[in-house]
């Protein structure tokens, strides 16, 4: 597709809404990696809410949680909106969230470490992109599907700003990590109330942030004929 002088490419992808339970006690990065492998996903855009978390200093990522905690800090992740992507054998996390720690001595942090552990298993809901042969920058190696309401748009930043889309999920180029929502330039990946599954996934209005800041976005648009015109 050519839009003005800028080119935009649309890749219809095989994706599915899903709900899963991820393990506690492992680092969040590892729990989400296991989730991707278990479901056959190259990447996923997920939300988890009201999850107890813990930070145990000097505990190696592959070490089990001690039966008795003699050190560490507990807290709550009120809401985390994350794009998780397989990168070789590891998972890369990017997103935004709101969390706090039960310690007055711990200053509020701008970043949540991917090595933060869940204190118990947690329910996650989201959109999973099935593993395939099409390589993308943000979403890994995805499966192309001719008829799909989920489309990855690739292009120059100024081109994507005029694309007729309804809902999208994206991350800033070159950024990895989970930011405090209060410190984000934009409102977040899925800045909507924590409602039932369908609403969580379909109420992220792109008007909340400027789409032209992104070079690759996942779009949900039920108007498949409109999206087909971008191919």
Confidence of residue 133 (pLDDT cuts 50, 70, 90): very high
Indicate the domain borders of the chain.
2-13+129-174+194-228, 19-126
**Is the predicted pLDDT of residue 167 greater than 60, yes or no?**
no
pTM, two decimals, is: 0.76
- pLDDT tens for 194-207 read 333 334 334 333 33
Confidence of residue 143 (pLDDT cuts 50, 70, 90): very high
Instruction: Return all residues near 132 (Cβ < 8 A) that are at least 6 apart.
Output: 13, 14, 42, 141, 142, 143, 144
What pLDDT was estimated at residue 76? 93
Nearest to 22 by CA among 121, 108, 88, 92: 121
Query: What kind and span of H or E run contains 160?
Result: helix 157-160
- pLDDT tens for 51-84 read 999 888 777 777 777 666 667 788 999 988 889 9
Instruction: Return all residues near 214 (Cβ < 8 A) that are at least 6 apart.
Output: 157, 160, 170, 171, 172, 173
Q: How far apart (Å, rounded) are the C-alpha atoms in residues 203 and 212? A: 19
């Amino acid at each position: 597709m050519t839009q003005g002088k800028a080119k935009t490419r649309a890749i219809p992808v095989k994706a599915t809404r899903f709900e899963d339970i991820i393990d506690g006690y492992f680092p969040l990065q590892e729990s989400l990696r296991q989730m991707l492998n278990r479901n056959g996903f190259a990447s996923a855009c997920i939300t988890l809410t009201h999850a107890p978390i813990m930070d145990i200093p000097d505990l190696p990522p592959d070490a089990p949680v001690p039966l008795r905690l003699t050190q560490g800090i507990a807290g709550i992740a009120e809401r985390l909106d994350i794009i998780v992507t397989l990168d070789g054998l590891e998972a890369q996390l990017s997103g935004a969230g709101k969390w706090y720690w039960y310690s007055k001595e711990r200053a509020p942090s701008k970043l949540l470490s991917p090595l933060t552990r869940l204190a118990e298993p947690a329910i996650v809901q989201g959109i999973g992109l099935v593993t395939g042969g099409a390589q993308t920058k943000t979403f890994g190696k995805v499966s192309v599907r001719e008829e799909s309401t989920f489309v990855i748009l690739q292009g120059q930043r100024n081109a994507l700003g005029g694309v007729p889309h309804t809902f999208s999920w994206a991350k800033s180029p070159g950024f990895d990590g989970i930011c405090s929502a209060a410190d984000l330039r934009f409102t977040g990946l899925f800045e909507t109330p924590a409602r039932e599954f369908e609403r969580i996934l379909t109420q992220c209005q792109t008007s909340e942030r400027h789409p032209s800041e992104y070079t690759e976005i996942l779009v949900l648009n039920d108007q498949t004929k409109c999206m087909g015109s971008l191919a």
